[in-house]
Amino acid sequence: MTKLFKLVGIETHKVYFESTERSELQRWLDDEFGTTETGVRKNIAVQPMPEAMRIVELNKK
């Protein structure tokens, strides 16, 4: 089953999601970007997320 998270905001290098299941969101982020190390994600891409930005641009209309 695919879990959907509501995208609530994007800043320069930060993407915010809304989820009532915080542990599930954490698990998904760990799977996607590597486990956390002292609260900071390792292996996270520093480049912007064009797909996410496209969604934001489409929703601005």
CA 58 to chain centre: 18
The pTM for the full model equals: 0.28
Contact 25, 19 (CB under 8 A): yes
pLDDT of the chain, 61 residues: tens digit per residue: 455 666 655 555 555 666 566 677 677 767 766 655 545 555 555 555 566 666 666 666 5
Tokens 């290098």 belong to 13
Q: Give the Cα separation of 54 and 57 in Å (integer).
A: 5
Q: What are the sequence ranges of the domains in the chain? A: 6-60
